[in-house]
Amino acid sequence: MRIGIVSTAVPLARGGARLIVDWLEDKLREYGHAVEVVYIPCTEELPEILPQMAAFRMIRLDHYFDRIITTRPPAHVVQHPCKVVWLLHHVRMFYDLWGTTYSPVPDNEAGRALRTAIMAADRTALGEAHRLFANSHVVANRIRRFNDLESEVLYPPILRAEVFRSGDYGDEIVSICRMERHKRQHLMVQAMASTKTDVRLRLCGPTLDPGYVEALRESARQHGVADRVKIESRWISEEEKIAILESALASAYVPFDEDSYGYPTLEAAHARRSTVTASDSGGVSEFVTSGITGLIVDPDPVALADAFDRLHANRTLAQKLGTAASERVTTLGIDWTTVIGKLLS
Amino acid sequence: MVPFVHGGAEELYIHLIRNLRQAGVDAEGMRIPFTWEPAERLIDEMLIARRLRLYNVDRVIALKFPLYMVPWPDKVLWLLHQYRQAYDLLDVKQSNIPDDDRGREIISAIRKADNTAFSESRHIYTNAPITAKRLWDYNGVQSGILRPPLNDPELFLGGQSSGYVLATGRVNSAKRQFMLIQALRHAPGVRLVVAGPPDSASDADYLRQLAIQEGVEDRVTFELRLLSRQELAQRVNEALAVAYLPFDEDSFGYCTMEAFCAAKPVLTVSDSGGVLDIVRDGQTGVVVAPDPEDLGSALRQLAARPAHSAALGRAGREALESARLTWPTTVEKLLS
């Protein structure tokens, strides 16, 4: 089958939304399909959004491909008689973030008109899809609530789960994740000031916001925990990631209202590491059950510190939760055979 | 781009990105599927390019119509070709744009949009003298010539000839591999290897049937697929000569550069365009009329005089070396 994977992208920016496309491409080829990836550049500046969506919709794909799979929004507005949408998230400032401080869309006539237009376009684009998948229950619920459509949850696996290794449970709570404000690494740094054990924190990942990383470093100095907090602001290779997780105590992932469980959670689970997350982290709780596959605490430095200390003081607990996390992957059917089967159905 | 088509332009694109990265530049390529039929569609395609928005980059290097119309303040064009059916191919009546009022409007829109894109560009390079000349003749725009270098010269080291003539490159009617098959009837005993990806299944079927019709199927080996670079280099390195007969090509062509890098003579024809900038009859290869009988006679000559053929190939290598085409200097120009 000739398959096109269509996604929007920020030029030169890497991250989870790119990986899902790259990995899907590899896997579809492995299954014997001809695949082309089409990355369309896209900005989220308000006056530019609708014209860009109109342009995406004009791209002719039907004579080149038997099937199109779209991922990152608003790529799903492209047209094709056999369009499969695997929605990773909405353009959230018009949806769940609308009316919060996280949304730049003004609550005035122009802002509301733009929001109505985007929602109408999405309703059409999602409604016409041959199949509609969401990467999590969080996104599926939003599709139901905002777009009045039913979707099926299809969890994104990582490319090669088998490469992860599990060694002794060490001193480090690790966060291998893009460093951005809404990922809230600052809560973890602040938490370190309230810990009572020798637990250490390691933050690593690239950023689009160097100011945030600088603020993290400054916070570590101010709280007097710089010697126990390691910050590596760069892309982390797969090999490094494997090594960091192999000897970690656990992973921490406390984004604000994330759409899915997130690759950091899944990668940690493949390395038999549990995840410490927050009660307002959204889709992470689809994977993490507190006390079973990780710890869920209030989005508060003191509560996080307590969770870090509990794991540091009790390696048996860290191991037990980590092992259960690893088993959770199988229970949820997070694997490529499932994904390819569904996307090609 | 055209999904699933892989030829010289795609190789150039991949290697441009690779070499920018090697030069320490954070670079990424982006390609949008392009549809040119029916002609009315061209307007939509230009609108798409014009409505896309970039950010998070310092410089854009744009290669193809219509994507070079994407708005960006620091844009450098490396023009591989314009939409030729609105320019020189129109003049020779090989255009898909209808010869009526609407067709003229479409042509005018393309030319206006092109001129706008050219005027917004910081630098404009073209890949060959003929591209530069067209740009000057039709758009009044001056450009520097930046010939694409061979991407992996280290693979094309040459070697002992196994006696076959090799046709490389994409397989389609404009590259005229069919004419070589027709020529075989006039060149008894000569073996031909056709190695390259067909644009479509019908291009492949046509060649196979033609070989049977011509009664030469026992002397033609077909490898109608995208060969790995190593496989391709091995075919070139062991060839007696490389035959490359594109109709009115703009540039030397990768097939020509690969052959010369491996010190193999190139057989081409008098209407192959930019290939003739480096393939000279009796010096670095053989140039004949685009006619099966003439080609047959050239094939016979190449096979009958292997030492002379090898000498032509060595001269071809010298001609390529004196053109001094390398990626580091190319990247430097595109970044200046």
Upstream peptide bond of B38 is cis (omega within 30 degrees of 0) = yes
Does B57 sit within 8 Å of A45, measured CB to CB? no
Element counts in chain A: helices (H) and strands (E): 12, 12
The kind and range of the H/E element at B241 are: strand B241-243
Q: Which residues of B touch A39 (CB under 8 A)?
A: 30
Q: Which of A2, A51, A54 sits opposite B4 (nearest CB)?
A: A2
Does B32 sit within 8 Å of A65, measured CB to CB? no
Query: Amino acid letter at B3?
Result: P
Q: Using CA coordinates, name the residue in chain B closest to A4.
A: B3
Q: Which residues of A touch B33 (CB under 8 A)?
A: 4, 36, 38, 59-61, 64
Q: Using CA coordinates, name the residue in chain B closest to A46.
A: B53
> What is the C-alpha to C-alpha distance for residues A49 and A125, in angstroms, rounded to an integer?
15
Does A64 sit within 8 Å of B52, measured CB to CB? no
Give phi and psi for A152, each to the nearest 5: -110, 140
What Rg, from alpha-carbon coordinates, does chain B have? 21
Q: Which of B33, B54, B57 sits opposite A38 (nearest CB)?
A: B33
Q: Which residue numbers of B have CB closer than 8 Å to A's CBs?
A: 2-4, 26-28, 30-33, 35, 41, 44, 47-48, 51-57
* Tens digits of pLDDT across chain B (336 residues): 999 988 788 989 999 999 999 999 999 999 999 999 999 999 999 999 999 999 999 999 999 999 999 999 999 999 988 899 999 989 988 899 999 999 999 999 999 999 999 999 999 999 999 999 999 999 999 999 999 999 999 999 999 999 999 999 999 999 999 999 999 999 999 999 999 999 999 999 999 999 999 999 999 999 999 999 999 999 999 999 999 999 988 899 999 999 999 999 999 999 999 999 999 999 999 999 999 999 999 999 999 999 999 999 999 999 999 998 999 999 999 999
- Name the residue among A78, A87, A93, A106 with its Cα closest to residue A144: A87
**Is A60 an interface residue toward B (CB < 8 Å)?**
yes
- Name the residue among A97, A65, A92, A94 with its Cα closest to residue A81: A65
Give phi and psi for B291, each to the nearest 5: -150, 135
| SS3 state at B13 | helix
Q: Please name every residue paired with A134 in a beta bridge, in sequence order, or none if there are none.
A: A87, A153
Q: Is the C-alpha dihedral spanning A100, A105, A110, A114 positive or negative?
A: negative
| SS3 state at B173 | coil
> What is the C-alpha to C-alpha distance for residues B93 and B26, in angstroms, rounded to an integer?
43
Is residue A250 a contact partner of residue A321, using CB atoms and an 8 Å limit?
yes
The kind and range of the H/E element at B167 are: strand B165-168
- Name the residue among A246, A270, A253 with its Cα closest to residue A327: A270
CA angle, corner A126, sides to A122 and A132, nearest 5?
A: 145
The backbone region for B139, taken as left when phi is positive above 0, alpha when psi lies in -120 to 50, beta otherwise, is alpha
Counting every residue written for chain A, the total comes to 345
pLDDT digits (tens, 9 = 90+) for B310-323: 999 999 999 999 99
pLDDT digits (tens, 9 = 90+) for B107-133: 999 999 999 999 999 999 999 999 999
> What is the C-alpha to C-alpha distance for residues B286 and B245, in angstroms, rounded to an integer?
11
**DSSP state letters, A23-92:** HHHHHHHHTT-EEEEEEEE----HHHHHHHHHHHHH---TTT-SEEEE-STTGGGS--TTEEEEES---G
